[in-house]
Amino acid sequence: MKNYFQSQKSRTSTPRLFLVLALGLFLSSCATVPITERRSLQILPDSELATLSLQQYSEVLKKSKLSTDPQKVQMVRRVGGRIAQATEEFFKESGMGEEIKNYRWEFNLIEDDKTINAWCMPGGKVAVYTGLLPVAQDETGLAVVMGHEIAHAIAKHGNERMSQGLLVELGGVGLAAALGSNPSATTNIFMAAYGAGAQLGVLLPYSRVHESEADRIGLVLMAKAGYDPHQAIPFWERMSAKGGARPPELLSTHPAPESRIAQIKELIPEAMRYYKPG
């Protein structure tokens, strides 16, 4: 009888132990998103993601044709540089400078007029496609997109999505183990998690929470960089007009344009508190 009860006790305690360990993992892996202060689960080390980011960014650049138009390239790097500076200032002023101390910003323009997209990987590795420029029209329009994509990166939305992807596709193994056992699938999950998966035929939708956060944070960043956040409204209206049977990559994972524009109008007053006309 004693052995029976010990066995039963062991069976009962095992699920409890699992729950305790899972709760511990959750609490230890939670991080706070800037501005929105939402608590998010991020189980992957930033250092590992930064290393993979550098590798994949280099691969994308090798396989792509970079723009040789000096004016367009300079515009992308000028806008990116201003938003990067605003981002660093915001983090330092908020006492979170350590969060992005290892960012090494890089901005490249990829020659692809059919792709209306941009993305930012961990560590500040940014790519913009030439197909986006006619929709952006000018520096301020470009700042809307770059602020939004950089917001995804600093909010570590990719870490959340990557974590979810590993849990669903590969059973929740660590990043290093996933790369070792299934590098192709892991790479696809990574690229999709950071909005670059469209080029691989893979696209992992952002959640509405992530999109709303990126819009809100992006407006603050562009305003702090000296770009009028009011111009986000006509930009998304132009982007909406590009929709149809096959919407641009930048829209394919995003919420309905009407909902986004309505929300942006509500967020502008907050962003204007940071506005410093450039």
Instruction: Tell me the catalytic residues.
Output: 149
Residue positions counted in the chain: 278
**CB-based burial, 91-129: b 16+ in 10 Å, e otherwise:** beeeeeeebbeebebbbbbbebeebbbbbbbbbbbbbbb
Distance (Å, whole) CA 152 – CA 207: 11
Q: Which of the 8 DSSP states describes residue 245?
A: S
Distance (Å, whole) CA 167 – CA 161: 10
Look up tokens 């590795």; give the residue.
125
Q: Which of the 8 DSSP states describes residue 29?
A: T
Distance (Å, whole) CA 165 – CA 190: 8
Of 246, 125, 158, 249, nearest to 199 (Cα)? Answer: 249
In a 10 Å sphere around its CB, with 0-12 CB exposed, 13-18 middle and 19+ buried, how is residue 3 labelled?
exposed
Distance (Å, whole) CA 137 – CA 22: 48
Other CB atoms within a 10 A radius of the CB of residue 47 amount to: 11
Token pair for 276: 């410093």
